[in-house]
Chains A and B, each alone.
Chain A
Amino acid sequence: MRKFLMTAAAAALALGAASASAEAAMDKVKACWTYIGPIGDFGWSYQHHQGLEAVKKEFGDKVETVYVENVLEADSEKTFERLAREGCNLIFGTSFGYMEPMLKVAAKFPDVKFEHATGYKTAPNLGTYNAKFHEGRYVIGQIAAKVSKTGKAGYIVSVPIPEVISGINAFMLGAQSVNPDFKVEIIWINSWFDPGKEADAAKVLLSKGADIMVQHTDSTAPLQEAEKVGAQGFGQASDMIKFAPKAQLTAIVDDWAPHYIKSVKAVMDGTWTSGQYWGGMNDGEVAMAAYTNMPEDVAKMATETAEAIKTGKLHPFTGPITRQDGTVVGEAGKPLSDGDILGMNWYVKGIDDKLPQ
């Protein structure tokens, strides 16, 4: 039965049928968010909260919004259960670690819709959504290679999951398209938000000859360290120009608003279906902040690259790609499949680092 339902849902999705499900439209939707960090992190959770604000603005009093911040992964099941019991129609979980708790609670409340950011498990009432961050990483790779005087970037990363690894690879491929000898030094800090650790890592990288800071962690600390010593870098998840007015070249901005508005609308119309959504620059989910503190020709190149990615003319992972171990993947002129990118667990050639095992 469940299998049948999922097949039906998939078919509805494929046909783009507007209201395949028998669910009634709603006059008012209660949409609820859970954040892993504080909304004041000015990075990941902040951006999701901007999405909530956009939903409020779009639907006015037809929507009621609720959020819970600093929800610990280990302890999140009771939070999701409380939200479901308190009448939320649609619940967003914005951290990977919420996957198992959300699966459990979704099974208990079949009438409530759940959406989980960055996960890979789904259920009839639990969908996933994520963004193609690697598209932005390709653009900043090109900028880094153009702007850097030392030819070396420092890259602070959290956890070796595919999203992070594909980000490093896309950055490197972008950089190599400008300077084939570009170097990157990587520090894993095993945390998504730890300003102290991030600042320490930045200091080490800057003292070892990197003059560009790249981060896949959520605080503004690395960029602020770069600002202090006159180096440059890129904002993460959110436009961080306020924190580093001289250092920020641009930022990869996660704009969750379009997706959130779409999902709330679907629940309102009774057309919501479970699925796996992966939006990129083309969908407005990944955007570049203003190009600042760089020569005009570099800004022009970046604008053109971003435009090419948006229109689909350029794909960051276009084959053939040589991996670190020398093997080649991808067919010439064709992009890697989404599955290959979503499961990426190897480095491209030219990265002088070993993946943590």
Chain B
Amino acid sequence: MRLVLEKRPEASAAMAIASPLIALALTVVTGGIIFALRGNNPVDAIYVYFIEPWVALWSVEQIIVKAAPLVLIGAGLSVCYLANVWNIGAEGQFTMGAVLGGAIPVLFPEWQSPLTLITMLALGIIGGMAWGAIPALLRNRFNANEILTSLMLVYVAQLFLDWLVRGPWRDPMGFNFPKSITFSNWQLLPYLTSGIHLGVIFAIIAAVALALLLGRTMKGFEIRVAGQSPRAARFAGFSQKWTVLFCFLLSGGLAGLAGVSEIASVVGQLQPQISPGYGFAAIIVAFLGRLNPIGVILAGVLLALSYIGGEAAQISLGVSEKIARVFQGVLLFYILACDTLILYRIRWQQRLPSAQGA
């Protein structure tokens, strides 16, 4: 006797939406058990982790600001993944966006006008697009696997930034520390409230625009067909190469915009490390959001909460920062498990089936 996964004849649409919520509930329960085992009061701990960050306005602002780059990148990646185009290198496109956008304040520190910021943002998008175009072209021209090339280009971008801030772009007054000069005035994004900067608006606009693109336009239809049935797409006369390039330029551009927005707000200068791994976390966000740009907004906020709540728990409860990582892992585990159970059901099988070729 053994367990088998059997494909359900029809997946429940209601369950597809409920699945992340069930996963979240299971994570909370598991988290409570972990806290109880550590000797914390589980109800207090869950409150500190998941609820308290929402109680004060400044903390809500922190969550939103943290979610912005995740949503911006995740929305673009959703489009890619729907089309079966696997851009894993958003972190690199993020970095190159920051480098190209950051070139303006570093090379022209005196230039202060609204145009400065606009140029920075435009260059950020171009930087991300250009870096994203490389794996697209390699795939279209040489059929190189874009998962590998886009991932490897992450390290190239990071080392390039590293070299810049240790060498030519180092702040001459900074005692040799590997940092650029700090940005000021029009080299920074304006803040809408004391805590929320313009990058948050970019994220919302991008997610809504991509939702419209996917749902309402021919291009969106092309992308869905390309992802679900490449053969059908070919018969319909949709160019696969163009789809690959389009997806990489789109997601790369958005990642680049996220990169330049981060250095022009939260970070305020170029330095070797400018991201806690937003480009990779956004992959999780894309799937958590069901590859739906609006879902990505919710998923981005949830992942941001896991970072912010983790820090709050460290401060209030003295738990290790590893707890936050454990929570993220547990959450993903449950999401994948729930998704699997929507598509498949578990069944006990009495005897081994006869050998079948795949």
Contact = CB atoms under 8 A, between A and B. Distances in A.
Contacts of B152: none
B166 interface: yes
B12 interface: no
A73 B167 contact: no
A345 B311 contact: no
B176 interface: yes
A159 B273 contact: no
Nearest to A96: B177
A190 B166 contact: yes
Nearest to B318: A66
Contacts of A343: 175
B116 interface: no
Contact of A74 (B58, B276, B311): B276
Nearest to A78: B62
B273 A74 contact: yes
B267 A74 contact: yes
Contacts of B56: 85
A275 B167 CA distance: 31
A86 B315 contact: yes
Contact of A66 (B268, B275, B308, B315): B315
A75 interface: yes
Interface string A24-51: 0000000010000000000000000000
Contacts of B275: 74
B41 interface: no
B176 A160 contact: yes
B114 to A, nearest CB: 23
Interface in A40-86: 66-70, 72-75, 77-79, 81-83, 85-86
A97 interface: yes
A144 B273 CA distance: 35
Given A66-B318, A79-B311, A85-B56, A161 B175 contact: yes
Contact of A75 (B178, B276, B320): B276
A194 interface: no
A343 B176 CA distance: 9
Contacts of A75: 266, 276
A218 to B, nearest CB: 16
Residue among B59, B65, B162, B269 with max Cβ neighbours from chain A (10 Å)? B59
Contact of A86 (B267, B316, B318): B316
Chain B interface residue count: which class? 35 or more
A96 B273 CA distance: 13
Given A69-B321, A74-B271, A82-B62, A100 B182 contact: yes
Nearest to B310: A68
A326 B276 CA distance: 45
Contact of B271 (A66, A97, A162): A97
A66 B269 CA distance: 29
Interface in B306-320: 308, 311-312, 314-316, 318, 320
Contacts of B318: 66-67
Contacts of A81: 58, 62
Nearest to B163: A190
B167 A357 contact: yes
Nearest to B194: A108
Nearest to B177: A161
Contacts of B62: 78, 81-82
Given A81-B62, A85-B56, A68 B266 contact: no
Contacts of B250: none
A66 B318 CA distance: 7
Contacts of B331: none
A73 B178 contact: no
Contact of B321 (A66, A70, A160, A161): A70
Contacts of B272: 190
A120 interface: yes
A312 interface: no
A159 B170 CA distance: 12
Contacts of A32: 315
Given A78-B62, A81-B62, A357-B167, A73 B271 contact: yes
Nearest to A104: B268
A82 B321 contact: no
Contacts of A190: 162, 166, 178, 272
A75 B56 CA distance: 20
Nearest to A77: B266
Contacts of B315: 32, 66, 68, 82-83, 86
Interface in A79-102: 79, 81-83, 85-86, 96-97, 100
A68 B178 contact: no
A295 interface: no
Nearest to A160: B176
B269 A100 contact: yes
B316 to A, nearest CB: 7
Contacts of B316: 86
B197 to A, nearest CB: 12
Contact of A68 (B268, B271, B311): B311
Interface in A315-357: 343, 345, 356-357
Nearest to A79: B311
B314 to A, nearest CB: 5
Interface in B59-102: 59, 62, 65-66
B313 to A, nearest CB: 10
Contacts of B167: 356-357
B271 A356 contact: no
Interface string B255-282: 0000000100011110111111000000
Given A74-B273, A85-B58, 8 more contacts: A67-B314, A72-B276, A74-B262, A74-B266, A74-B271, A97-B177, A159-B178, A356-B167
7 contacts: A68-B311, A74-B274, A78-B66, A78-B266, A86-B315, A96-B177, A356-B166
Closest 10 CB pairs of A and B: A161-B176, A160-B176, A72-B276, A74-B267, A78-B62, A74-B274, A68-B314, A75-B276, A70-B321, A66-B315
